[in-house]
Amino acid sequence: MSTTSPPTTDHGSCWARVREEAPLVQCLTNIVAAPSTANLLLAAGAAPAMVDNPHEAGDFAAVAGGVLVNLGTLSDGSVAGMHAAVRAAAAAGTPWVLDPVAAGALGWRTDVAHDLLSVATPALIRGNASEILGLAGGAGGRGVDSTAGPEAAAEEAARLATRHGCVVAVSGPVDHLTDGRRVVRVGHGHPWMTRVTGVGCALGALMAACRAVTDDSLVAATTATLALTLAAEGAAERSGGPGSFAVALLDELAALEPDTLAARAELR
Amino acid sequence: MSTTSPPTTDHGSCWARVREEAPLVQCLTNIVAAPSTANLLLAAGAAPAMVDNPHEAGDFAAVAGGVLVNLGTLSDGSVAGMHAAVRAAAAAGTPWVLDPVAAGALGWRTDVAHDLLSVATPALIRGNASEILGLAGGAGGRGVDSTAGPEAAAEEAARLATRHGCVVAVSGPVDHLTDGRRVVRVGHGHPWMTRVTGVGCALGALMAACRAVTDDSLVAATTATLALTLAAEGAAERSGGPGSFAVALLDELAALEPDTLAARAELR
Amino acid sequence: MSTTSPPTTDHGSCWARVREEAPLVQCLTNIVAAPSTANLLLAAGAAPAMVDNPHEAGDFAAVAGGVLVNLGTLSDGSVAGMHAAVRAAAAAGTPWVLDPVAAGALGWRTDVAHDLLSVATPALIRGNASEILGLAGGAGGRGVDSTAGPEAAAEEAARLATRHGCVVAVSGPVDHLTDGRRVVRVGHGHPWMTRVTGVGCALGALMAACRAVTDDSLVAATTATLALTLAAEGAAERSGGPGSFAVALLDELAALEPDTLAARAELR
């Protein structure tokens, strides 16, 4: 497996285009992360729209720039909305991102994830190591926090990426991003990202925003990861705890210039 | 159409009464804006209650001071709750506010909005220009952000207000409020209001709180708009981005005295 | 009724164990409080998981350390999830906390609360005075804010605690906690706690987190109350309003050391 990264300048360009084009990102997400996801998308310059009911989710996915499908707090109604969105996204060529929250740990949602993957191929799958392992068929974690390290999931991530023809992003202290052939590792960030709810969920949404402005899913995943983790580093420097960190994260993300992102990015 | 505004002192009195009476505001709203709406109502001195299930929404609307019906993230269950609330509000004389999020852009919710308007007349309709145009039958926008300017919607707003016998508030850089006869324009505020999710949704809730303490819907809409936009101006002065702005907005709204509101208000 | 309190050192130990063990707290809660509840649990060091659908709620309750059942924004689907969670929690010996939001004031949810109590005995019931009176059969309040003083509910709280064999916590300016025999009163806190949405709801969740690491429900309820109210005192000192208070509350809770909690605790 090659570890050649796409040139960093692509990430600056991708971030610049998010700012310029304000892509419309449809979010079918959970009740915990919905507010912070919308705020982080707005801070990034994207336009969030939480259209998740089955009557409208399909029509909206056909016109959205990207779609996030996050399995955090499912209901029968929201699953129907997700199926409608994924079918319409596939038909319209709208890229979608799957965030299989707690896959492997809980049976119903693991089935929901597999059902969605059988309907259409996502551009990206984003989860922590436990979730990626759980989705790939291994043992799951105990919910949204990861009990397996991201490196442990690297092999499964590559297999999953190859099987579905998509990029798989394994979040952790070092983020591991792969399309099954190329690998990018991002070591930025701060432990407080795990002490604020919904940061991982928002990362999936940012990936959908970035994917809306580039066809290269690996560049999109890397750009979103860099943007959020670099903003987190800046935010942590001037915060006194997880509350002020969450506030500063929004300020930092809104202030993050494309040139700064490209200059500060260290990929492995 | 006259542009004579009601005397500014009325707005100070209205705001003072919100503080004194702590009106009970029932919110049937979306999963993104629910937390910030509750917090902005509490900062204003009102008492929010998110009673939105069809078993209880009617009973509660009969005793609430005002009801907000926001179409942001509908489900079949919440639509049933909205119908129950609107019917009971009409029967009990409780004023209600309709926020037709993304009306015109999406078919089902546009039908839901029209269905609710056929059940009973709201005291107020609040939306951005695209939503007001969409509700009036024109072309809709692309979600919650407005693609049409507020002035473009002025004529339709007047027509809609006359048709339903209510006040229509078109939010934008200059807010345009009309009962079909009188017009008030409010030019306060800050662009960061559009970079924080749910600020517009909370404005609808604040209108319901103000309408609970006065029978004049135009005074209520103007007072709520002044309170939020003046608070936003103060908040922007001491914020470094959308995250700190959202926090400061709550502090500023809680600290906004009726005299200050009346003194700083510039209506057009 | 004795007013002998358990030794304060127990509360420090309980808080220390929450930090060390990071108990998994399943929250079936409302759309308003879900984000802040998750963030306050994370700040405390616990691991929140909002698994509330009827397909998975039972399986998860069997492995969770504690379960919160909060009736804030019910739907038919979430009630089914609550029944599944409570049944499975009882079978597995997982302690659960009932927060009967607006019980007494609204009929359906009062029935839901009684139905849940007939399925299994909770470790704790937490509410304001109106809710505890409403649950006990008295007159209810007007929603989530309390119209009755906590002392007025003391007698009913003891009766309710004895009837169900659990601890009842009555939140207010002075928190009143009882198992029907022992009473603990906690007078810490700040009025801004009632100007931020979901603080009471998060208190119930913190009680579930504390109860996950000790079998003594009264120690758990007291520790959670002390942690949140002491954090609130610290937060209020460096805040300018309810917005900055909510942010500082998270920072203070995350920084609250077990020794500090034990040293600053004043019980009555």
**Would you say residue B3 lies in a domain?**
no
Instruction: Give tens-digit pLDDT for B129-183.
Output: 999 999 988 544 445 556 666 567 899 999 999 999 999 999 999 999 999 999 9
Asked if C244's CB is within 8 angstroms of B254's CB, the reply is no
At C137 the pLDDT is 81
Query: Within a 10 A sphere around the Cβ of B197, how many other Cβ atoms?
Result: 29
- The mean pLDDT value of chain B amounts to 93
Q: Could you tell me if A22 and B143 are in contact, meaning their C-beta atoms sit under 8 angstroms apart?
A: no
User: What CATH number should be reported for the domain holding residue B71?
Assistant: 3.40.1190.20
Query: Would you call A254 and B198 a contact, using CB atoms and an 8 Å cutoff?
Result: no
Tell me the shortest Cα–Cα distance from C47 to chain A, in angstroms: 8
Range of the domain at C183: 8-264
Residues A162-208: tens digit of each pLDDT: 999 999 999 999 999 999 999 999 999 999 999 999 999 999 999 99
Query: Is pLDDT of C143 > 80?
Result: no
- Tell which C residues from 229 to 258 touch B, by Cβ distance under 8 Å: 239-244, 246-247
Q: What is the structure's pLDDT at A137? A: 82
Question: Is the CB of residue B54 less than 8 Å away from at least one CB of chain A?
Answer: no
- B182: how many CB neighbours lie within 10 A of its CB? 18
Per residue in A13-40, pLDDT (tens digit) is 999 999 999 999 999 999 999 999 999 9
Q: Count of CB contacts below 8 A, A vs C?
A: 96
CA angle C164, C170, C171 (to 5 degrees): 150
Q: How far is C149 from chain A (nearest CA, A)?
A: 31
Instruction: Kindly tell me if the per-residue pLDDT of A1 is higher than 50.
Output: no
Tell me whether residue A2 is in a domain: no
| Inside any domain, residue B56 | yes
Is residue A102 in some structural domain?
A: yes
Q: How many domains does chain B have?
A: 1
| C31 contacts on A by Cβ (under 8 Å) | 31
Residues of A whose CB is below 8 A from B240 = 251, 255
Question: The pTM is what?
Answer: 0.94
Q: Are B77 and B54 in contact (CB under 8 A)?
A: yes
Interface test with A, best of B37, B106, B128 (most A CBs within 10 A): B106
As a whole number, the mean pLDDT across chain C is 93
> How far, in Å, CA of C188 to CA of C172, rounded?
10
> From the candidates A51, A76, A249, A253, which should be mutated to test the interface with B, based on the most B CB atoms within 10 A?
A51
Q: Do B254 and C241 touch (CB under 8 A)?
A: yes
Bridge partner list, B186: B175, B267
Confidence of residue C178 (pLDDT cuts 50, 70, 90): very high
What are the start-end ranges of the H helices in chain C? 8-21, 34-44, 57-63, 76-92, 107-119, 129-136, 154-164, 199-211, 217-237, 242-255, 258-264
Kindly report, residue by residue over A212-247, the tens digit of the pLDDT: 999 999 999 999 999 999 999 999 999 999 999 999
Between strands A24-28 and A47-49, the pairing is parallel
ipTM here: 0.93
First-to-last C-alpha distance (Å) of chain A:
14
CB contact under 8 A, A106 and C59: yes
A73: contact with C, CB 8 A cutoff = yes
Among A249, A252, B22, A123, residue whose Cα is nearest residue C146: B22
Determine phi and psi for A34, rounding to 5 degrees. -55, -50
Per residue in C197-254, pLDDT tens?
999 999 999 999 999 999 999 999 999 999 999 999 999 999 999 999 999 999 999 9
Instruction: Answer whether residue B23 shows pLDDT above 80.
Output: yes
> Is C193 known to sit in a ligand binding site?
no
Q: Is residue C1 part of a domain?
A: no
On chain C, the residues whose CB falls within 8 A of the CB of B198 are none
Chains with ≥3 CB–CB distances under 8 Å to C: A, B
Cross-chain residue pair B198–A24, CB shorter than 8 Å: no
User: Which of the other chains make 3 or more beta carbon contacts under 8 angstroms with chain A?
Assistant: B, C
Tell me whether residue B200 is in a domain: yes
